[in-house]
Chain A
C-alpha cells in the first residue's frame, strides 16, 4: 500500500486537529462547570432540564404564596384570640348586669363598657395584614369590613366571597375571609351580635327599664354570645388546621425542590473529577501524537543521498 507524502501529512494533521478540538471542548466544560454546552450534546437531557426548571419555578411561586398565607393566618389567629377575649369580658359584664341588686347608674356604666367592647370587637374584625388589605373583608380587600352607618348600626361592607391564592398545585387557601360569617344571626330577627349589643346597650341606659325587660335583654345577649363564640372558635380551629397543613406543604415542597435541584445538577453539572482526569489523558494523547508525528515526518531518503 502506497502512502504518499500528502496523505501522510493530511492524515497526521487532521488527527492532531481532531485531538485539539476534543481538548478544547473539555476545556470549555471545565471552565463553565456545565456538562451540557449545547442541546445537541444530549437532547433528551436538555428537554428534561427545561421541564425541571419550569417546575422549580412554579414550586418557588407556591412557596412564596404559602409565606403570604402563613403571615395572614397568623394575623387572623391573633385577631380571633383578641375577639374571643373581648367576648369573655363582655360576658362578665353581662353577668354583673344580671345581678338583682345592681342600680340603674351601674347599669349605665355597664352599658358604656359593653359599647366600648363592641367597638374593640369591630376594630379587631377590621384587622389588616399590615399592607392595607383587610383580612376579614373577603374579596373587598380594601374596603373596611365592619362600618357604622348613618343610622348608627354596624353593617358588613365586605364581600362574602373569599380571596384565595394557590399554595400548591391544586390547593388554594384564603388570605381574605368572609367577616360576616364571624358574626352570624342569633335570633329570629336576623340580628347579629353587634345589633343585639346596640339594642341591649340602649335598653340598659333607660332608667325606666323593668327587671323583666332586663332579663329578656340579657338572655338575648347571652344567646348572641354563644353563637358568636362558636363562630369565632370554629374559625380559629380552621385557621389552626390551615397553618398545620401549610407546614406539611412546606415540607413536601422543599423535598420536591431538593430533588429537582439534584436531578437538574446531575443533568447539567460537570463531574469535575471525571473531567479533569479526561483532560489530563487527552493532553497526554495530544502530546504523544505530536511527538510521533514530528519523529516520523523527519524521516526522508533525501537525508541519506549524498
Chain B
C-alpha cells in the first residue's frame, strides 16, 4: 500500500517540478542568454521515478564560437561606424577641399589679366583665406573623430572592468553552490562573457577549482583565480592626442599596445585610430605642406608692385599639424608678388603677370605621391581611398555580422525556448500530473476498501 502511495507521491511531485520548469522556460523566453531547462528523471525501483537533475541545454563548443564571432563582428563594425564619419565628411563636394582649391587658382587666373588692379588682388586674398579655413575645418573634424574614439575607448574599458567584477563574483557564487547546479548563474556568466566579447577578444579556461579564468585581447589576464585585473585609460600628453590603455598585472602600470588589445570594439577602435585615421590625417597634412611650400617658393621668385621680392604667402605654424595650423601670411593686396621682373624704374610693370602664370603652373605640378600627383589629384585620391576603405569595411562587417548571426542561431537552436514546444510540454506534464493524481486517488480508495473489510 505504502508502495503505491509513495509511487504516486513521487509521480505527482515530479510532474509538479516538470510543470514548474516549463513555466520557468516560458517566463524566460525573452531573457537574453537564458538556456532552456528540462527535468532529467530516472526510474527508482519501487518508488516510481526520481529527479537526477534539472539540466540546462547548452553547448560549450557553440558558446565559444559565439564569443569569437561576436568579437570579430564588433571589431569590424566599430571600425565601420568610425570610418563612415570620415566618408560623410568628404562626401559633400561643397564642403570638401577641391572647390576651395579651384577657387584659389581661379582667382589667380583672374589676376593674370589685371595684375595691378585692387579687385582681382582682393579676390585672390579672399579665396586664399577661404582655402585655409577649409583645410583647418577638415582637420578639426578629423581631430573631433579622434577625440570621439578616445571617449568611446574609455567607456568600453569601463564595460570591460565591470564585466570583470561580475565574472569574479559569479565565479565565487557558482563555486560556492557545490553540487546544486546553478543554471541561472551559469546563464548569467555566459551572457556577461558574450557582452564582454563585444568589447574585446575573450579566451576562457577552467582553473583547478573548476572556476573560469578569463583572458582578453591577445592573452592579457582579466579574471584569474578569483582576482581581477582592471584596465585604465590614460590621456595623451599632447592635447588631443591618442589615449592609451594601461594594465597592472602585479609589477606596476604597463601600457598595452593595440596588438595586445585585439578584437571587439576596443581592438577595432585602436586599429581605426592608429592606422586608418592616422593615415588619413597624414595624407591631408602632406597635401597642406606641399601646397603651402610650393606656393611660397614660387611666390618668393616674384616681385611686388613696389619692386621688392615676394614673401611667404602661407604660413604653417606647427610642422607636426600642417593642415590644422596653416594660415594666410599676406595681410595686404600690395604684398602679392604678381610680376616676374623689375623695370628700370625700380617698380614692376603694371601688366607683368609672369609670376601669376608661374603660380598657376603649380596647379599641375606633380609634387606628391612620389611625383605622381598634383595637389588636387592627391586630394581626389585621398577621397577615393577613404571611400574604398569604407566600402571594404561595409562588406567585411556585414559578412562578419552574418557569420555571428549564424553562430548565435546555432547556439540558440540548442539552448533557446520555443513557446509552442513548451505549450506541448505543458499539456504533457499536466496530463502526467492528472494521471499521478488519479493514482493517489485509487491508492486511497484501495486503502479505504481495506479499512472497510469488516463492515
List residues of chain A with CB under 8 Å of any chain B CB.
1-7, 11, 14, 37-44, 46-47, 49-51, 53-54, 57-58, 60-62, 64-65, 68, 131, 133, 137-143, 159, 161, 163, 165-166, 172, 175-176, 300-302, 305
7 CB < 8 A contacts A-B: A5-B417, A38-B387, A39-B87, A41-B387, A50-B379, A142-B351, A175-B351
Q: Is the CB of A166 within 8 A of B350?
A: no
Which single member of A11, A46, A139 contacts B387 (CB below 8 Å)? A46
Chain A nearest CB: distance from B319 CB in Å? 28
Give the CA-CA distance A41 to B391 in the complex, in Å: 7
Chain A nearest CB: distance from B350 CB in Å? 4
Chain A nearest CB: distance from B301 CB in Å? 17
Contact with A along B380-407 (1 / 0, CB 8 A): 1101111110110010000000000100
**Is the contact region of chain B dominated by helix, strand, or loop, or is it mixed?**
helix
Chain A nearest CB: distance from B283 CB in Å? 14
Which single member of A47, A175, A305 contacts B427 (CB below 8 Å)? A305
4 closest residue pairs by CB, A with B: A4-B416, A39-B387, A43-B387, A141-B351
Measured between beta carbons, the chain A residues less than 8 angstroms from B110 are: 61, 64
Interface residues on B, range: 35 or more
Q: Is the CB of A4 within 8 A of B116?
A: no
Measured between beta carbons, the chain A residues less than 8 angstroms from B318 are: none
Chain A nearest CB: distance from B292 CB in Å? 19
List residues of chain B with CB under 8 Å of any chain A CB.
29-30, 84, 87-88, 90-91, 93, 98-99, 102, 105-106, 109-110, 112-114, 116, 343, 349-353, 357, 360, 363, 376-377, 379-381, 383-388, 390-391, 394, 405, 409, 412-414, 416-421, 423-424, 426-427
Which single member of B88, B353, B427 contacts A165 (CB below 8 Å)? B353
Q: Is the CB of B29 within 8 A of A50?
A: no
Give the CA-CA distance A60 to B102 in the complex, in Å: 11
Q: Is the CB of B98 within 8 A of A137?
A: no
Measured between beta carbons, the chain B residues less than 8 angstroms from A61 are: 105-106, 109-110
Q: Is the CB of A139 within 8 A of B423?
A: no
Q: Is the CB of B384 within 8 A of A44?
A: yes
Measured between beta carbons, the chain B residues less than 8 angstroms from A65 are: 109, 112-113
Q: Is the CB of A40 within 8 A of B84?
A: yes
Q: Is the CB of A301 within 8 A of B349?
A: no
Q: Is the CB of B351 within 8 A of A302?
A: no
Q: Which residue of B lies closest to A299 (CB)?
A: B420
Given contact pairs A44-B384, A165-B112, A39 touches B390 in the complex (Cβ within 8 A): yes
Q: Is the CB of B418 within 8 A of A4?
A: yes
Chain A nearest CB: distance from B76 CB in Å? 14
Q: Is the CB of B360 within 8 A of A166?
A: yes
Q: Is the CB of B102 within 8 A of A57?
A: yes
